[in-house]
Amino acid sequence: MTVEEGVSLKPYNTFGLDVRARYFAEANDDQQVLEALSFARARGIPLLLLGGGSNLLFSRDPDGLVLRMASRGIRVLEDDGRRALIEAEAGEPWHPFVQFTLARGFAGLENLSLIPGTVGAAPVQNIGAYGVELKDAFSGLDALDRSDGRLVAFDAEACAFGYRDSLFKREPERWVILRVRFALDRQAPLQLDYGPLRHWLAERRIAAPSALDVSHAVCAIRQEKLPDPSVLGNAGSFFKNPLVSADAATRLRECYADLVAYPVADGQVKLAAGWLIERAGWKGFRDGDAGVHQNQALVLVNHGQASAADILGLAQRIQADVQARFGVALEMEPNLV
């Protein structure tokens, strides 16, 4: 493992923030992860894991070792002609991995197409889009326990998945995810409940879509609404869709007939954070180089030279305004480092 000093992390975070790592290394296998843990422990410095950098907001230069997970490899562990167990290393880019599964005829991950990031980071947030979450196709993963170096196999229950949540998000300094396994099915039913998804397919007269058709639709919708991080710095959806009680949703609907809301488990209702922000007038707003995307109010962007403080300040203004207008608290989705 090669350790460098004073490395700019601008190429490694999708907000394009030019912070510098005191120490920086890449891990291409399990042994290099262990070497990184030993390096940090010997110097008494923190270790920060980095995947695709698509869900991070750096507030300052990291004073420790930044370890980029760069391990690669995809393996079909089982395949009976219909169902398969597929394993991918943590450093595999997420979208190409999804395309790998679709090219072999497997359904299950198509709604999660074009999400930035890596396979290893995906379980941390329990990534989700268009009615599907990672946990729906999840089989297991291997993670390293930083406290004692043990290799631990996790099933779905042990991961304690929630909405954009997991054990690994709640214990960020304990676990290093090394590889993830997915149970996929060539005949799995497609999830087409999302309105724009059905509309895109209907416009093209695709009455019996395949998983690949759904992936194409998802990619087209995302590209239309969401900015390319390589062109305009962003971390995708900046706020989680808030959960409120059914009574609270009813009161809001009495004031706002066009409220976008979906019933979920336990009698709660999920509100569309993007609708709340747009209804409050923030869509397309810009203050210096920190702004709200003109096509999707849920996305905060860096127009070039915004600092983390600029972006965080804008986020806090939006949170305060939405709370004052609607009585709804918005929670940030990116991790603040």
CATH number of the domain within which 151 lies: 3.30.465.10
49 and 108 both lie in a single domain: no
Residue with tokens 């890596």: 118
Quick check: pTM over 0.95? no
Would residue 237 show up in a list of annotated catalytic residues for this protein? yes
pLDDT of residue 265: 77
In-domain check, residue 228: no
Structure tokens at 114: 């074009």
Least Cα distance to 184 among 137, 217, 227 occurs for 137
Residue 199 lies in a domain: no
Count of CB atoms within 10 A of residue 8's CB? 13
Active-site residue identified among 54, 113, 166, 237: 237
Give the active site residue among 92, 110, 146, 164: 164
Distance CA 311, CA 299 (A): 11
**133 in any annotated domain:** yes
Q: Which pLDDT belongs to residue 138?
A: 98
User: Tens-of-pLDDT digits for all 337 residues of the chain?
Assistant: 899 999 999 999 999 999 999 999 999 999 999 999 999 999 999 999 999 998 889 989 999 999 999 999 999 999 999 999 999 999 999 999 999 999 999 999 999 999 999 999 999 999 999 989 999 999 999 999 999 899 999 999 999 999 889 999 999 899 999 999 999 999 999 999 888 899 999 999 999 999 999 999 999 999 988 898 889 999 989 999 999 999 999 999 999 999 999 888 788 999 999 999 999 999 999 999 999 999 999 999 999 999 999 999 999 999 999 999 999 999 999 888 8
Among 34, 51, 69, give the residue marking a domain's end.
Answer: 69
Q: What is the CATH number of the domain that holds 29?
A: 3.30.43.10
pLDDT for 195 equals 86
Q: Does some domain include residue 200?
A: no
Using only the alpha carbons of the chain, give its radius of gyration: 20
Is residue 85 in a domain?
yes
Domain containing 295 — which CATH number?
3.90.78.10
* Residue 164 falls in the annotated catalytic set: yes
What confidence score (pLDDT) does residue 104 get?
Answer: 96
Listing DSSP states for 151-209 in one string gives: EEEE-HHHHT-BTTB-HHHHSTTTEEEEEEEEEEETTPPP---SHHHHHHHHHTT-SS-
Measured CA angle at 309 (ends 8, 307), to 5 deg:
40
Is the same domain home to 256 and 177? Answer: no
Q: Is residue 212 part of a domain?
A: no
Number of structural domains (the chain) is 3
- State the residue range of the domain holding 22: 4-69
Same domain, 166 and 249: no
Annotated catalytic residue 133: no
Q: What's the pLDDT at 266?
A: 81
| 213 within domain boundaries | no
| Spatial distance between the Cα atoms of 290 and 315, rounded to a whole number of angstroms | 10
List 87, 89, 133, 333, catalytic entry:
333
Q: Say whether both 180 and 80 belong to one domain.
A: yes
Are 115 and 21 members of one domain?
no
Closest by CA to 318, choosing from 273, 288, 260, 259, is 273
5-to-11, 50, 57, 191, 220 alpha-carbon distances in Å: 15, 16, 21, 46, 40
